[in-house]
Chain A
Amino acid sequence: MTASLALHGPAGPVAGRPVPVRAELRNDGAGELWVVGVLDGSETGTRFPVWRPSVRLGDRVVAAPPIAEDPLVGPLRAQDFRRLGPGEALDPGRLATFEVFTPDAPGTYVYALELSTESPSPDAWLGRFNQDPSVVELVARVPRLRLRAELSVEVQPP
């Protein structure tokens, strides 16, 4: 199993507007790869898979998910599992941190994203209500991995 995580952004974004950075998880191996995109609670690390975004300006973290409000995340469903064939890629879905962060000044912003499927137990993937427990069997299909991607974005004056 070989997989890679990448971030893509537009050229020449300007300060005062969110930068539409998107993520891509690619199956670089010869076999199939089962993955799960961003779920309710993934961004705050409340549940697996963890997709943890952040934005740095210099040494300062200027955007990151806050501590989780509460752990009442929605159910993991069979349709959340995606099978990637060799060479196929997945956009994991909305990352609120990237979507709402608005650079207020020009500069070099580093957008970073970390993916972890290294859960201590499959239960750490499940929702807290209306959860079909049989879905837990599908968790075993997702390889345990930890990937990280970064993207430097030069934000221009408005």
Chain B
Amino acid sequence: MTALSDPTSAVPAGARVTMYRSDEEQVDEGSAGNGGEAAEAAAEATASMAAAATAPPVIGPISPFPVPILRKRLVHGRYRSSGTGYQLELRVDVGGSRPTNRFSADFFNVGGGTETYYGSFRVDAPTITTTATEVKLEGLGSFTWAAGAPFVRVTIPRVTIFQAPAPATVQFITPPSTSGATYTCAFASPYFRSVLWEQDCVAGAVPFVSYDTTQLAKPAGSFSGVLDVSGAYRLAGIEVLPSGTPNVIPVAAAGADAKWTDAELHAAMVTNFSLWANTPQWKVWLLVATAHVGGYRGIMFDYTDTHQRQGCAVFYDAIQGSAPYDQRAQMRTYVHELGHAFNLLHSWQKDLADPPQPLGDNNGLGDLSWMNYTWNYQPSSGPGGDAAYWAAFPFQFTDNEVIHLRHGLYKNVVMGANPFGKGAAEVDPDLFDSPTEDRSGLALEVRSKGAFAYGEPVVVELKLSATDTRGTVTHGFLHPNDDFAAIAIRQPSGRTVMFRPMLRHCADEDREIRLVPELALYKSAYIGHGRDGGYFEQPGRYAIRAVYVAADGSRIVSPVTELRVRPPVTARDEQVGELLMGDEQGQLLALLGSDSEHLSSGNAALDEVLDKHATHPLATFARLAKGVNAARAFKQLTAEKQVTVREPDPTGSAAELAKVEKASDGDAGVDNITLNFVMRTRARAEARAGNTKKAQATLDSMPKVFKARGLKPAVVETVRRQAEKTKAELLGDG
């Protein structure tokens, strides 16, 4: 099983994650992040195939001619590691057609029944060393996360064209020389990326097939011969594989006017694209339609929803014609619209991407690209316009576009990921992509109040449940303080950050649980403050998403939950909010109180809330921290290395927690799980103070309190059992 770790870092032996598969014995799943055993097996198989290809030569008479030097295989193309844990898909771009002399890769987390994208990196200017026996590329990578071992070395043995392609070994290094993870990636394809392309056609429209580039004048050195849409992408190193059964769509799908709107096109895609899914995937749909209401030649119409760039269309009425000029223009429109699906902007729009990209010649107007408009073409010198474009166009994308297609960060290129025009993503949300497959039998939810007051501690409830009626065995480390759960927060600015807890608990114990559909696991987590400070300090809308890595390695991702932080209504609201939002106050709320002198100003702020604003609704949270802390002893080590112990104050604790309970009515105060904890802590304090009757009454009241809060009977029953258990601990069975 893999924790949420950095795939570039080797996991030290002492930090190996040991989890259970069954209750008989613990099974060492190996270090996180490699999954190399299967890859090594594949490498051995490759070597054995290579050996077969180079079987012992038959010895014959010595030739009077020099022995020919066997040509070596090119090493460019796509490689992939295998096994569970992290898999690496590597793209090596040296040699071959239009080499860009760089390499890039994507990490996928494979475990249980899921495969999830993790992150990408690219090395734009590697040092390339080619010897007779190997090609080595190395350089500092640009990663989509803060990689622990960011220097990357790729080594590929050179083999002859009669041997099977050799695997690539990818070694991550923390400068200057500390080894990180190593991956062995088997050769997968000479193409850097492969896309399945499904094309459907409206009744009456005739799809483009191919164009012979020798039919009309073309620039010297450009592609000569029959070219189709797939061929145009192959020239860029991208495999566009026709797939699926072409459907003929009745023209009625476009409405009474027989012209297509974007909405009709999208609906047609959802209905007819057999590979369609609302998830990032290397699959694209093209509809050969009749006409668009806007009169366009083509469109990439999928630019408004959550998973964009999955479909495009060309309009036969606008582009039809069998003459070579028409066929050539048709091919350009097909390749152009599919280019938008790869997130390529028009040539003159590159600087409008997010983040901006450099413009080509004459602000992009002079680009000789499938993504330019022929009539808009204007190089910085010489004539412009349609005729000039075709006289110079070599049937290819520009160098920068080729780099995007081959090495653009996964989410910037793959259909269904980043929106059209967005080339940048803050990185950690990548971790939270919905799995492309999910057979885990588990579901995760994040719940919270819809709105929080300014400065109110944000607490969410995590619910892990079984979707398999037979039940699912997993572990109980659901809290984000554990290694196997994490929470991402999208702030009102659009920035997405990871919640990094103040304390992280090591999952070094068995906590096996069996979930069935009617019995879920719940955890309450205060996520308002962590190692990065406060996460909810600005009023506005926030989106929350959680991920849990199950015992079998499946990555369970929750749907997105939205919450709002309201702006303060009164000056007093603002004052109390500010008093609760400081760094030390955040730590005190996360720790549920502390006597530490390092947090003295935070405690002073909580005291001020209780002294001056005792009736304010947010005072409940100061009371919670103070009340829980008062219930326990607090040890401090003095400068003189003496341990001092502040004894518990059970009476004071019980009094504060009783007020918390009273204030937590309806949507106000603390959440259900925290209230459960508060009531049992209060009962313990009361018992410790010698008031057993009060403790018993507090525990006896719990089922009624939670029933009144509208909880389901099964949950109320769980609360009753917890209260009985606490009662037995405190008061004995009698």
Contact = CB atoms under 8 A, between A and B. Distances in A.
A40 B295 contact: no
Q: Which of A46, A67, A70, A97 has the most chain B CB within a 10 Å cutoff?
A: A70
B378 A96 contact: yes
B385 A69 contact: no
Given A100-B378, A129-B421, A130-B353, A72 B297 contact: no
B431 interface: no
Given A69-B296, A71-B294, 7 more contacts: A68-B297, A70-B297, A70-B340, A72-B340, A128-B420, A129-B420, A130-B352
A128 B422 CA distance: 12
Interface of A: 18, 40, 46, 65-72, 74-75, 96-97, 99-102, 127-130
Nearest to A102: B383
B397 interface: no
B294 A65 contact: no
A68 B296 contact: yes
B301 to A, nearest CB: 9
B300 A100 contact: no
B353 A72 contact: no
Contact of B349 (A68, A74, A102): A74
Q: Which of A65, A100, A101 has the most chain B CB within a 10 Å cutoff?
A: A100
Given A69-B298, A72-B303, A74-B352, A99 B420 contact: no
Interface string B324-362: 000000000100110010000110110011100000000
A9 B229 CA distance: 43
Interface in B415-474: 419-422
Contacts of B340: 70, 72
A72 B354 contact: no
What bracket does the count of chain B residues touching chain A fall in? 20 to 34
Contacts, number: 78
Given A99-B384, A129-B421, A67 B295 contact: yes
A119 B50 CA distance: 67
Given A46-B294, A65-B375, A129-B420, A70 B352 contact: no
Q: Which of A18, A97, A130 has the most chain B CB within a 10 Å cutoff?
A: A130
B248 interface: no
A100 B389 CA distance: 11
A28 to B, nearest CB: 32
17 contacts: A68-B294, A69-B296, A70-B297, A70-B299, A70-B336, A70-B337, A71-B296, A72-B345, A96-B365, A96-B376, A99-B378, A100-B375, A100-B383, A101-B385, A102-B385, A129-B303, A130-B352
A155 B421 CA distance: 43
B300 A70 contact: yes
Nearest to B422: A130
B420 A100 contact: no
A75 B384 CA distance: 25
Contacts of A65: 375
B373 interface: yes
Nearest to B336: A69
B563 interface: no
Contacts of B300: 70, 72
Contacts of A97: 375
B421 A130 contact: yes
Contacts of B296: 67-71
B318 interface: yes
A31 to B, nearest CB: 32
A122 B733 CA distance: 74
A70 B292 CA distance: 10
B375 A66 contact: yes
B352 A75 contact: yes
Contacts of A71: 294, 296, 299
Q: Which of A46, A69, A71, A129 has the most chain B CB within a 10 Å cutoff?
A: A69
A18 B378 CA distance: 12
Contacts of A128: 303, 420
